[in-house]
Structure 1
Amino acid sequence: MIAPDLEDLLRDQAPQVLGALVRRYGHFDTSEDAVQEALVAASVQWPKDGIPDNPRAWLITVASRRLTDLLRAEQARLRREDTVARWTLPGERLAPAADGPAPESDDTLILLFMCCHPALSPASQIALTLRAVGGLTTSEIARAFLVPEPTMARRVSRAKKRVKDSGIPFRLPSGPERAGRLGAVLHVLYLIFNEGYASTSGPSLHRTELSAEAIRLTRVVHRLLPGDPEVAGLLALMLLTDARRPARTGPDGELVPMAEQDRRLWNADHIAEGVALVTDALPRGTPGPYRLQAAIAAVHDEAPSAEATDWPQIMALYEVLMRIAGNPVVALNHTVAVAMVRGPRAGLDRLAELEADERIAEDHRLHAVRAHLLEMAGDHAKARESYEAAAGRTTNVRQQRYLRARAAHLAPDAGP
């Protein structure tokens, strides 16, 4: 088993090494395979021989040599007699990295743009990002998303081939294209975090390896683009949300709703960092969706108790968010805020309008909100039905148990 410090070092180095190879030689797909093999070699040799003075140069050297072997093998299979240089970028030669110093540039952001190319589906973008930039193995990604390893291997392979066939140059896009591609990168990181914080399926409420990886990668993007307020907003949102994770489950892994959480267990360092980030980023230009969501999370996290939450401010922030990035999930969260400010019946009236939206009409979250508002309104029979309906629509075992427990609590013979 790899020591945590060594594992962190290798994952931090992986995108930089891959970027150096792709920039120098091209062949994103083959370079990625070579880097993975170099990481495996390091995980075996470094614990015995010690970490090299320049880990990045060591990895680039080993990966470059392995890349040479892979390209020569490909050449032999295809019965080509050309030199290996035929596969390099124009004007470059293929030689082990030991021939010269390792490049100092950090190409992580370029790799993220490649992995989040709009030609790829969101599922492929996520898989390729975790593999190429996150340094996770295919088996680790498959376990995180609860799919068979062969299925994930095919998804990653298809994504790499799509990138290769697209012929996109290894450079940062410019102008409007860069802004659009950065939006795709942030969206992918947001999806990875959400799947880690609130798993859509499986026996656990969290997949901490995914949420932690999303935070780590977003920190990388923030380091590379420190002046982008939406990048800062996304990092703040992740930190402020993840801060509550220690209190979100009970001793047996059961879900604990925010109103009932022991706030002393919340991660104070994450909250302080997240509040500082969003406080600095929010006034810089027109706020985007990540900054607004981070501001909402900050209001929750800074409240000393559930009763002291500033719901009018949260409702106002959701109204701004709906104007710039309206979607049914945002509208559902706004409905909860309205109910907390104006009473459950006002929330139920808004929920009735939202039920006409087929994008969320069958989502378990809508039925769970209806159940909660009906319970607040004192209509326990209908609330019980909605809790059961919500439980039947989620594939996460912990959420199912919580929702069914709420329904059972409202049964006529449940007692006080």
Structure 2
Amino acid sequence: MTSQITMVLPLPPELRSARLSALASVAVHLRDLGAARVAVDQALADPDAAHDLLGSTARIAGLSPAHEAEPEDGDHVLTTLAACCHPALPEAARIALMLTTAAGLPVPDTAGAFSVPDDTMAQRIAWAENRARGALGAAIPEREAESHLGRVLDVLLLIFDDGIVHPNYSVDLPREALETARAVVQLFPDEQEPKALLALMLLTRARRDARLDDDGSLRALSRQDRSLWRQDEIQEGLFLLRGSQRDGRTGPYQIRASIQAAHVTAHEARDTDWNRLLALHDRLMQVSPSDAVALGRACAVAEVHGPETALESVERLGLDNHLFHATRAELLRRLDRTEEADRAWSAAVARVRSATEHQRLRGELER
């Protein structure tokens, strides 16, 4: 089932969290993401219903008043978000469900983000919503809540990062992911990793006006005009990062946000504390190792121990994706191995997914 109602975007932050809370309560009771989404969109279409979104949504969905606000409703949001991000769903389906369910994008906007026809996206969403039904039937045990929330945050970051790489989409995906993360922070105020994810997004997005050259290629951090960085977003990100560290626990998003913080708090590129960045990357490799983290670490190694040492660590990875070849090319360039660097850049460009990404790889890695 898909909604035919066109919503006015962007939703204000307070309505995003209210919408998600109402949708989650109805979805769990009906065990149907699609029907819940239609009910919420219909309720939002009536300005007079916005002040009682949960009650009006429940009435539209045909629930009795007793179902409108039960004691366990706080758990419904995590159950619903976890259903959208269930590991049995393909990655593209998880992203589409998060955009329509959590971010509140109409189906046509989600279709635009994927560059597919509206009818095609409606069919894909209906299929994914049907597959997610089973995950709506049982509450998430407390011992598993952290891992489920972590998967939700991972999908939000996928959406954010994809929008950074492809900035010409008809939808501002980084903003949608960021504002959805803000709603998650509001709905899970005692959890630290959502705050850290929101901090990471703010610290990254704050550089958007300085990130690209006139031809659309990436401009390295060392060459960015830091006066164009948005200080209000940086300060909010730093505030959230500090808040995420208050209980003494360390999660992967706290470390990743700390890496971004080390970059944006350097007044000039030469002031960057690369020893701290290397230590943070080492910690991230312990907490949440991945090939992408290892490649990021190599850039810090290059600054602390030299590009030759970094190149050795990169080549030991033996990968074959565009980021691997682009990182290798940059290190070879720094070693004046020009012909090898050119071949590595060609390999990187050959492995990108789109013309936009091809254009941006004419530039540099943003490290």
Structure 2 residue 128 is the aligned partner of structure 1 residue 141: no
1:266-307 Cα distance to aligned partner (Å, 9 max, x none):
111111111122233336334111111111100001011222
Which residue in 2 is equivalent to 1:352?
Answer: 315
Distance 2:67 2:130 in 1: 30
SS of the residue 1:186 aligns to: helix
Q: Deviation of residue 252 (structure 1)?
A: 4.8
Q: Give, as a single letter, the amino acid of the residue that structure 2 aligns with 1:179.
A: E
Which residue in 1 is equivalent to 2:3?
Answer: none
1:323-357 Cα distance to aligned partner (Å, 9 max, x none):
121111111111111011111111111122112xx
User: Cα–Cα, structure 1 residues 207 and 235, in superposed 2: closer, same or farther, change >3 Å?
Assistant: farther
1:151 to 120, 137, 146: 120
Distance 1:310 1:56 in 2: 48
Distance 1:304 1:209 in 2: 28
Q: Specify which structure has the bigger relative contact order, considering alpha-carbon pairs within 8 angstroms and separated by 6 or more residues.
A: 2
Which residue in 1 is equivalent to 2:56?
Answer: 61
2:343 to 367, 385, 410: 385
Distance 2:156 2:310 in 1: 31
2:328 to 370, 387, 398: 370
Q: Deviation of residue 136 (structure 1)?
A: 0.8
Distance 1:218 1:58 in 2: 20
1:245-265 Cα distance to aligned partner (Å, 9 max, x none):
111123453422222111111
TM-score computed with the length of structure 1 as normaliser: 0.76
Q: Deviation of residue 152 (structure 1)?
A: 2.3
Structure 2 residue 288 is the aligned partner of structure 1 residue 325: yes
TM-score computed with the length of structure 2 as normaliser: 0.85
1:80-99 Cα distance to aligned partner (Å, 9 max, x none):
xxxxxxxxxxxxxx45x7xx
Distance 1:9 1:392 in 2: 44
Contact 2:18 2:53 in 1 (8 A): no
SS of the residue 1:394 aligns to: coil
2:159 to 179, 184, 192: 192
Contact 2:178 2:198 in 1 (8 A): yes
Distance 1:206 1:142 in 2: 11
Contact 2:218 2:363 in 1 (8 A): no
Q: Deviation of residue 209 (structure 1)?
A: 1.9
Q: Any gaps of 5 or more consecutive residues in structure 2?
A: 1-5
**Percent of aligned positions that are identical:** 35
Contact 2:82 2:148 in 1 (8 A): yes
Structure 2 residue 34 is the aligned partner of structure 1 residue 29: yes
Q: Deviation of residue 225 (structure 1)?
A: 2.1
User: Cα–Cα, structure 1 residues 207 and 246, in superposed 2: closer, same or farther, change >3 Å?
Assistant: farther
Q: Deviation of residue 178 (structure 1)?
A: 1.4
Q: Deviation of residue 60 (structure 1)?
A: 4.9
2:141 to 158, 174, 184: 174
Who wins on radius of gyration, i.e. which is larger?
Answer: 1
Number of aligned residue pairs: 356
Q: Deviation of residue 137 (structure 1)?
A: 1.4
Structure 2 residue 223 is the aligned partner of structure 1 residue 255: no
Q: Deviation of residue 317 (structure 1)?
A: 0.8
Distance 1:9 1:321 in 2: 33
Contact 2:328 2:344 in 1 (8 A): yes
Q: Give, as a single letter, the amino acid of the residue that structure 1 aligns with 2:26.
A: L
Q: Give, as a single letter, the amino acid of the residue that structure 2 aligns with 1:120.
A: L
Which residue in 1 is equivalent to 2:261?
Answer: 298
SS of the residue 1:307 aligns to: helix
SS of the residue 2:218 aligns to: coil
User: Cα–Cα, structure 1 residues 175 and 102, in superposed 2: closer, same or farther, change >3 Å?
Assistant: closer
1:169-199 Cα distance to aligned partner (Å, 9 max, x none):
3x5x232221221121111112111112223
Distance 1:390 1:167 in 2: 41
User: Cα–Cα, structure 1 residues 109 and 216, in superposed 2: closer, same or farther, change >3 Å?
Assistant: farther
Contact 1:193 1:211 in 2 (8 A): yes
User: Cα–Cα, structure 1 residues 342 and 6, in superposed 2: closer, same or farther, change >3 Å?
Assistant: closer
SS of the residue 1:226 aligns to: coil
Contact 1:17 1:56 in 2 (8 A): no
Distance 2:279 2:298 in 1: 12
Contact 1:197 1:208 in 2 (8 A): no
Q: Deviation of residue 165 (structure 1)?
A: 4.1
Q: Deviation of residue 365 (structure 1)?
A: 1.0
Distance 1:245 1:368 in 2: 21
Contact 1:109 1:224 in 2 (8 A): no
Q: Give, as a single letter, the amino acid of the residue that structure 2 aligns with 1:249.
A: L
Q: Give, as a single letter, the amino acid of the residue that structure 1 aligns with 2:137.
A: I
